[in-house]
Structure 1
Amino acid sequence: MKIIFMGTPEFSVPSLSRLIDEFEVSAVFTQPDRPKGRGKNLAMSPVKQLATSYNIPVYQPLRLKKNEEMIELIKNIKPDFIVVVAFGQILPKEVLDIPKYGCINLHASLLPKYRGAAPINWCIIDGENKSGNTTMLMDVGLDTGDILLTEEIDLTSDITAGELHDILMNSGGELLIKTINGIVNNEIKKVKQENDVSTYASMLGKDMANINWEHSSVSIHNFIRGLNPWPIAYTHYENMVMKIYKSRVLNEESNKCIGSIIEVSKEGLKVSTGSGVLLIEEIQFPGKKPLKVKDYIVGNKIDEGVVLK
């Protein structure tokens, strides 16, 4: 069983590791090395680091589309499968048609919901109570291929995007193994996606992380969870940016001005929202480390009555 693996970030690594355990991974494709850190030195992707430790050939084309040299190389390998996990490029039809059994993709959502770049984050921002991984047979669309297998998990009301990322990252490899074996043994029935119920999870950015206190306490709490660990939700305390890492919805109402800090205590900051009261438990101010509110207020002052914006 010859596998070509395509992936780039940390999320892809456990999947590649499981494939190496079970099959022959003939080649790995990953994004080009990128400048990293203060020194801007070129750094290998996490996938490249793992592949090189196993002496697996690594290829890093800027684009696969119309790259005849890379496409010819893939054809010469004659893979049974191409497995894609967060590669960062859309595969052209010429590549999709090469493998004997096809190209399969591991996607971190319950398709057809949350197609696109940031399914984990938007699932939490939207307050979903379920998530999971899906394997699909790739086509030329963006996460539109036939569903092969799914693995569903229940979400708690306080799970963060970072925590869900790690759960799905570590379980995805096993789902890929089941999918490959199921295809080879003709045990999987493909299911076409229902496009009319699909949703799209757009890329995140720092410009969308400013909290709107007009929203409900539940909605803001989900927003904070969904943007942790990046880009981190923030608000303005007077003229300073205050990042918010952790919050809790309180069973309280307030008639105070929306966005105002109505109480400061070791429990946190109680803030009035468009509907309900939110307790902010962990914060970060510029130049400082993230701290629980109870630790921050030991040597610093946060005033009640200030309106967050």
Structure 2
Amino acid sequence: LPKYRGAAPVNWAIINGETETGLTAFFLKETVDTGDIFHQQRVPITANDTFDSLYERLCAATGPFLLKTLERVETNQFTPVPQTDDEASYAPRLRPEDALIDFGFPAENVRNFIRGMATRPGAYTFFRGRKLKVHFCEIADTAGAPDTRPGTILPDRRRLLVQCNRSAVALTKVVPAGKREMDGQSFLNGYHPQPGEVLGEKAVEGEVRP
């Protein structure tokens, strides 16, 4: 605080490409997350952190942080610091429908979005009309032509490459509908996606797709 006030600060910090987050002890006020701060601890966000890994690390840090906070309260060794509203940002609650991947952004933004959603609520797209969850990806060292439609599957025998905005990502951990998590190579071997197919197109109600 005061950054990322709201229900989903961990998700949004990763989605926005932040390199650190933290824990904050503060006094309660009527408005959410606006009270005076009396103890904080910074926690780094690594380049490969997902929501799950960062949340787990924050939980592990919470116990020692709470003990230190109580010690400061008991000994009156703290000075409340008012939050600066000019520095505030917001982290609204994420709904399942908010996790739909937009490949129209640059690859770095797409990767951050997928990391920030993994695995709760879980980033997803559609493959042949059925939901395909994406738990992790990497920025690819190649991409299609500048006019290639975002979401287009690119030719590659070993990687599940998807066009973004003048860049591409390799989907490395995916969960097809009704299946367990698998790597990109396993998805290629099992589902045989064809170059030129486009991710993100949901089947029309009543439509049957292979």
8 Å contact kept, 1:271–1:278 = yes
Does the alignment pair 1:215 with 2:105? yes
- Offset from partner CA, 1:112-158 (integer Å, 9 cap, x none): 00111111111111110111111112222201111111111221112
What do you get for the CA RMSD once the two structures are aligned? 1.4
Query: 2:208: which partner in 1?
Result: none
CA distance change for structure 1 residues 113 and 247 in 2, over 3 Å: closer, same or farther? same
2:68 aligned to which of 172, 178, 202: 178
Deviation (angstroms), 1:168 = 0.6
Deviation (angstroms), 1:184 = 1.9
Does the alignment pair 1:195 with 2:80? no
Count how many residue pairs are aligned between Structure 1 and Structure 2.
Answer: 198
8 Å contact kept, 1:263–1:271 = no
Paired residue type of 2:49? I
CA distance change for structure 1 residues 158 and 185 in 2, over 3 Å: closer, same or farther? same
CA distance in 2, matches of 1:165, 1:197: 23
Query: 1:163: which partner in 2?
Result: 53
Percent of pairs identical after alignment? Answer: 30
Query: 2:5: which partner in 1?
Result: 115
Deviation (angstroms), 1:247 = 0.2
Paired residue type of 2:65? L
Deviation (angstroms), 1:252 = 3.3
CA distance in 2, matches of 1:254, 1:269: 13
Query: 2:137: which partner in 1?
Result: 247
Query: 1:131: which partner in 2?
Result: 21
Paired residue type of 2:166? S
Gaps of 5+ in 2: 201-210
1:272 aligned to which of 163, 174, 177: 163
Gaps of 5+ in 1: 1-110
Give the TM-score taking structure 1 as reference length.
0.61
CA distance change for structure 1 residues 112 and 275 in 2, over 3 Å: closer, same or farther? farther
Give the TM-score taking structure 2 as reference length.
0.89
CA distance in 2, matches of 1:238, 1:119: 33
CA distance in 2, matches of 1:304, 1:166: 37
CA distance in 2, matches of 1:287, 1:276: 30
Secondary structure at 2:34's aligned position in 1? coil
Deviation (angstroms), 1:287 = 1.2
Q: How does 1:3-152 map to 2 (within 5 A)?
A: 111-152=1-42
2:43 aligned to which of 133, 142, 153: 153
CA distance in 1, matches of 2:102, 2:152: 12
Paired residue type of 1:280? L
Paired residue type of 2:128? E
- Offset from partner CA, 1:211-243 (integer Å, 9 cap, x none): 111111111111101111112111122222211
Query: 1:263: which partner in 2?
Result: 155
2:190 aligned to which of 299, 303, 306: 299
CA distance in 2, matches of 1:192, 1:287: 49
CA distance change for structure 1 residues 299 and 276 in 2, over 3 Å: closer, same or farther? closer
- Offset from partner CA, 1:17-39 (integer Å, 9 cap, x none): xxxxxxxxxxxxxxxxxxxxxxx
Secondary structure at 1:263's aligned position in 2? coil
8 Å contact kept, 2:43–2:58 = no
Paired residue type of 2:164? T
CA distance in 2, matches of 1:251, 1:142: 43
CA distance in 1, matches of 2:49, 2:111: 11
Secondary structure at 1:225's aligned position in 2? helix
Query: 2:175: which partner in 1?
Result: 284
Query: Which of the pair has the greater relative contact order for Cα pairs under 8 Å at 6+ separation?
Result: 2
CA distance in 2, matches of 1:150, 1:178: 10
Query: 2:114: which partner in 1?
Result: 224
